[in-house]
Structure 1
Amino acid sequence: MSYIKTWKEVILKPAEFFMKMPTSGGYADPLIFAAISYIISWFLSILVSFSMLTMGGSESSFSDLKAISFILGVGLLLVFVSFLILSLIANLFYRALGGTGSYEGTVRFASYASAALVFLTVPYVVSVSVIYEMYLLIVGGMVVHNVSMRKSMIAVFLSFFLPSTIWTLVILFGFV
């Protein structure tokens, strides 16, 4: 897997990429792609954070990298778990809306949609990055599950906003 070639295809020609993407064949390549996207995003955000801290006169040093590396490891584990859980939820919504794709196909397109994470650290582009990732998820869902754009939008928004709403309510009202 060539990360840069795949990343360019996902970002520049998402419909073509998702049409060519196999919906089976294992989880390794897509999850590795997502991990690389996450690590690049993390690394760029660390650089931006350190540059902003040093510009502000902070005495933060690179000795903090030990703690930051631990956070990266935990974050990477959480990314994998969240991809798997959110893909399961999305797959259930796609099935309810008449989708024909598989859970593995859902994990695959959700992982490749993480290509947009790379732009999260670019100032003034964060919102565009999130919207573009949603677009990638919608297009991937359309292709993998063979549903209309409207149904794919519904599945994507429900699969991300419903769990977020539930967790927010749990945190706010202390149901844990």
Structure 2
Amino acid sequence: MEIICPQCNFTRIIPDEKIPARAEIATCPKCKHKFRFRELTEGIATDATVDAETGPDNTSVPKQSSEKEPQPSLTHNKPETKQDNGEEFWDKLAALGQPHQDKQHRTSPSGDASTFAEIDVPWEHLDKYGFFPGLWETIKRAMLQPAAFFRSMPVGNGQIKPLIFYLLIAEFQIVMQLLWDMTGVGANATSEAGLAGISAVMLLVVYPLLLIMMLYLMAALVHACLHLVGVATRGFEGTFRALTYGSAPMVMVLVPMIGPLIGAIWSLIVTFLGYKHIHRSTTGKVLLAMLLPLIPFGLLLILVLTMAQRNGAMTF
């Protein structure tokens, strides 16, 4: 028998032999709504009453307690089937409210008691999303929903795909910047003759290699600071992922003049949220870790200014 909840339209097929003969009320396992799923004819109810009271030899049978027969529940025990898995997945999607989020329940490597459900990064599953849709969906999530994006990001799938994502964003940034400069609408307008020295080898080989070196140096420095503060709970890969996917707002270079500045500020905020939510830390600790690398540079700057003032005083 197919039983459908009139409240939430939850449906389940239950074999007739597993439904008590006199049961008329069912309880939905999803919304807990009780409803009448069928109406028994009077003859069936009478026969059932006679059979229950007289017994097989028309002898009186002691009446049992007036407990009602158990109502059929849509959550009766039965072996796991493909249909059950489908309904379970349907329930998760209904609760989530977003049909295209591939939610996977996996334990976080930190072993935290409050385990977050992990959602795969679209860029890392191009076989499912496609190249450009996966790239765009990842950029959109990182820019518009950074907290949820990094909080649910799996850690342990490697650094190659995040690195390629970062290189694509960086290459796109430099190409667009050169284009704006060549057309004269960029912050540093340059003639075509000035761009002639930038060869394809420089753009596609040397520049990415320099980017990779600077990226790993920055990631190592930040991770060391996070470790000093005591918040590097998900390893170097967690820090690396926050830094690479945090570069997504740099696509704002599409907007001439002010786009690079907006993208840089936006990227800094997204990266900060990445450190915080990937490592399950607090705002104060992450902010302290990000400011630690500036302390040596600040001291060096103060030293240089002090020496310059002394030299100036000696001149006069």
TM-score range, shorter chain: 0.7 to 0.9
Name the CA distance, whole Å, in 1 between partners of 2:160 and 2:220. 17
Task: Evaluate the alpha carbon distance shift between residue 64 and residue 126 of structure 1 in structure 2; reply closer, same or farther with a 3 A threshold.
Answer: same
Per mean C-alpha deviation after superposition, the further-off stretch among 128-137 and 3-12 is 128-137
- Bigger Rg over Cα: 2
Specify the code of the residue in structure 1 equivalent to 2:258.
Y
Contact persistence 1:35–1:76 (CA under 8 A): yes
In the alignment, is the contact (CA less than 8 A) between 2:250 and 2:260 conserved in 1?
no
189, 201, 207: which is aligned to 1:75?
207
Displacement after TM superposition at 1:29 (Å): 1.0
Q: Which of 18, 22, 37 is the matching residue for 2:150?
A: 18
- Aligned counterpart for 1:103 among listed residues 205, 212, 236: 236
> Alpha carbons of 1:127 and 1:139: their partners in 2 closer, same or farther (altered >3 Å)?
same
In structure 1, the residue matched to 2:41 is none
1:129 aligns with 2:283: no
CA separation of 1:57 and 1:49: change in aligned 2, threshold 3 A: closer
Aligned to 1:115: 248
SS in 2 for 1:41: helix
Q: How far apart are residue 91 of structure 1 and its match?
A: 1.0
State the distance in 2 between where 1:108 and 1:80 align: 14
SS in 2 for 1:147: coil
Q: Report whether the alignment pairs 1:85 with 2:229.
A: no
Counterpart residue identity of residue 5, structure 1: E
Query: How many pairs align?
Result: 168
Unaligned runs of 5+ in 1: 170-176
- Tell me whether 1:46 sits opposite 2:178 in the alignment: yes
Secondary structure of 1:60's aligned partner: helix
Partner of 1:60: 193
Identity over aligned pairs, percent: 24
> How far apart in 1 are the matches of 2:300 and 2:163?
24
Are 2:287 and 1:158 equivalent residues in the alignment?
no
How much has 1:120 moved relative to structure 2? 3.9
RMSD: 3.0
TM-score with structure 2 setting the length: 0.47
Confirm or deny: 8 A CA contact 2:169 2:251 kept in the other structure.
Answer: yes
Q: CA deviation at 1:143?
A: 1.2
Letter in 1 for 2:249: A
AA partner of residue 116 (structure 1): P
Larger deviation, residues 7-16 vs 19-28: 19-28
Given the alignment, which residue of 276, 301, 307 partners 1:142?
A: 276
- In the alignment, the residues of structure 2 paired with residue 116 and residue 147 of structure 1 have an alpha-carbon distance, to the nearest angstrom, of 23
Pick the aligned partner of 2:166 from 25, 28, 34.
34
The answer as to whether partners of 2:182 and 2:190 remain within 8 angstroms in 1 is no
Change (3 A) 1:163 1:105: farther
1:51 CA drift (Å): 0.5
Q: Note the residue ranges of structure 2 that are not aligned, 5 or more in a row.
A: 1-122, 124-133, 303-316
